[in-house]
Chain A
Amino acid sequence: MQTYDLEADGLRGLNAALQAQATETNQTVWEVVNPRGSHAIAVGLDAPIEVNVKGSTGYYCGGMNKQATVHVHGSAGPGVAENMMSGTVVIEGDASQYAGATGHGGTLVIKGNASSRCGISMKGIDIIVHGNVGHMSAFMGQSGNLVVCGDAGEALGDSLYEARLFVRGSVKSLGADCVEKEMRPEHLEMLADLLARGKCDAKPEDFKRYGSARKLYNFDIDNAY
């Protein structure tokens, strides 16, 4: 295992070392100590390595990740796993705003709560939140899945495209063009897989599904607010 002291050795050295790992690297497990809320930790990775961050992170941890598993043993600041392409990011604690924003793929697991705009503009990422999510989550979500084991704040799924939202608890309010939809067997099957990937102890049958009413897909005067 490679250990990197972020406080002592600096951000540039860390990201350069992690980004330099090839697909066939034998340096497969990394531990980052003393993150102390630094921004842009483990961004732009593109190898099947595991990076364990021993503490809390600032903005954009795991940003644009491909292939790697980034595990934050603490809480994450805004924009964790933003624009992720593939791989996995796991947050043991809570996540701040915009978790998983614009993610194109991969899996983001948040074991605590996520703040507002979780999954904003998501484009294929799967996000599994053990706790609650804040307001405007999945705003303009295009594709992928957002699973919330707790409650969702106001305006869930506002201006949603084709992202699928599953919430076990209460939803304070739905955003424009977001509606509750029938939970069919294929959705239960998909949700079971997502819950297993997120290591959630929850039953798919306890969730409700939300999606786009598709009424905002074309400009229409009757859609004006």
Chain B
Amino acid sequence: MTDKPQTLPIQSATFTQEVNAEIRRAAATGIYDIRGGGAKRKLPHFDDLLFLGASMSRYPLEGYREACGTNVTLGTRFAENPIELKTPITIAGMSFGALSGQAKEALGRGATLAGTSTTTGDGGMTPEERGHSNKLVYQYLPSRYGMNPDDLRRADAVEMVVGQGAKPGGGGMLLGQKISDRVAEMRNLPKGIDQRSACRHPDWTGPDDLEIKILEIREITGWKIPIYVKVGGARPYFDTTLAIKAGADVVVLDGMQGGTAATQDVFIEHVGQPTIACIREAVKALQDLDMHRKVQLIVSGGIRNGADVAKCMALGADAVAIGTAALIALGDNDPKWEAEYNKLGTTAGAYDDWHEGQDPAGITTQDPELAKRLDPIEGGRRLNNYLKVMTLEAQTIARACGKNHLHNLEPEDLCAVTLEAAAMTKIPLAGTDWYPGKPGTDY
């Protein structure tokens, strides 16, 4: 030791402890990191927007007395039987395989209690899921695992999955630990292999083909049910335009905070656009084609509370979808499992090795003993409560803005608290009437 003044050790902002740990892990294993969830990096998000509330020029609605509608109808363009929901908060596509049967049942139960829809995922439709979901959207994915015309006709809507916010341009993974006998049988694959889902559809490429594919699906389902097209947050203006051109009833737009069951971390963190950057571009595409509110827009990717829902509505969405948040409502990453998270080398809130099938909360697993930890009835009740709270929160904000329906929220109800959010959403920076790139301004 010396009494000479020393500089403090300085951690690099570039080579952080997390970065260095990943370099060491990569050097030791020779394979990229795979994980579940969405982007963890800090991104411009809904927190960067605020509602202005009522004032001299806008009068509010009474919080507990005056009606504020939350219902939404999806699929009004071509479908004989559009989907009617009581709340615009839907449950995003998540597969049986990635999730346990109990978790899928809980999602169906909770969504049904709340008056909303849930969605299948890669791997097909299970009877339990269909049985417990009043409104079930059937995903049509590149892998076509379990795809069949009977389930197609049992669905309340079909979602043609072109992309996903966590991995636009990427296919799915389900590692061998989760390929149980039942999952293997449903997917027609050998048990225990690391399963790859294709990144693009096997029998169409591009929007012209998609238009014909949608025609085929409509012919098989008798033009009765809506057809959604889901895109990742890549080029939202063009993707939305082309989805509409291809004949979509509904466009589902998933930003990069949207989760996945498993993919490469480098994909999750470095491909795609933040959710808030996508919404106005998609809405502009709808407006340019005179299709806003005729083709409905569902936004997903990092939605956590009623304020996020209300902000999506104000930016022009018709509905939202939640995935990660719904899993947390069921019990994912709950601190009550902290000791077990520690054994897995992680901590509650950070657990993302969903692909390994060892989820202490029993949600992202096919291990029957772990899966038993989730009671689907209790899980459904929790999800319903959460959906109810989010809806009430969104209504509270809408009333404060003087709106008698969530769909009446508008961009003028918002301000942005960061330049980035202002630029991405074209919402004026707080305290100004300006956003970067505003027409008529030089910057």
Contacts and interface: CB of A to CB of B under 8 A. Distances in A.
Interface of A: 11-12, 15-16, 19, 39-40, 43-44, 46, 58-60, 63-64, 66, 78-79, 82-83, 85, 97-98, 101-102, 104, 117, 120-121, 123-124, 139-140, 142-143, 159, 161-162, 217-221
B219 interface: yes
A40 B215 contact: yes
Given A19-B222, A102-B144, A120 B193 contact: no
Contacts of B29: 221
Contact of A117 (B31, B147, B202, B212): B202
Most B Cβ at <10 Å: residue of A78, A101, A121: A121
A166 B427 CA distance: 61
Contact of B203 (A66, A98, A159): A98
Given A85-B148, A217-B193, 4 more contacts: A83-B147, A104-B147, A142-B189, A220-B31
Contacts of B204: 59, 78-79
Contacts of A121: 143-144, 198, 202
Interface in B15-73: 29-31, 34
Contacts of B267: none
A218 B144 contact: no
Nearest to B218: A40
Contacts of B198: 121, 140
Given A64-B152, A78-B203, A124 B188 contact: yes
B33 to A, nearest CB: 12
Contacts of A143: 188
Given A12-B223, A46-B149, A39 B31 contact: no
B203 A43 contact: no
Given A40-B212, A59-B212, A15 B188 contact: no
Nearest to A42: B219
Q: Is chain A's interface secondary structure helix, strand, loop, or mixed overall?
A: loop
A201 to B, nearest CB: 30
B378 interface: no
B203 A79 contact: yes
Contacts of A43: 216, 219-220
A44 B147 contact: no
Contacts of B31: 219-221
- Nearest first, the 5 A-B pairs at minimum CB distance are A44-B220, A79-B203, A102-B144, A221-B30, A98-B203
A66 B148 CA distance: 10
16 contacts: A40-B219, A44-B219, A44-B221, A46-B149, A58-B212, A60-B203, A78-B204, A78-B209, A79-B203, A101-B203, A120-B202, A121-B144, A121-B198, A140-B198, A218-B194, A221-B29
B176 interface: yes
B209 to A, nearest CB: 7
Nearest to B152: A64
B437 interface: no
B190 interface: yes
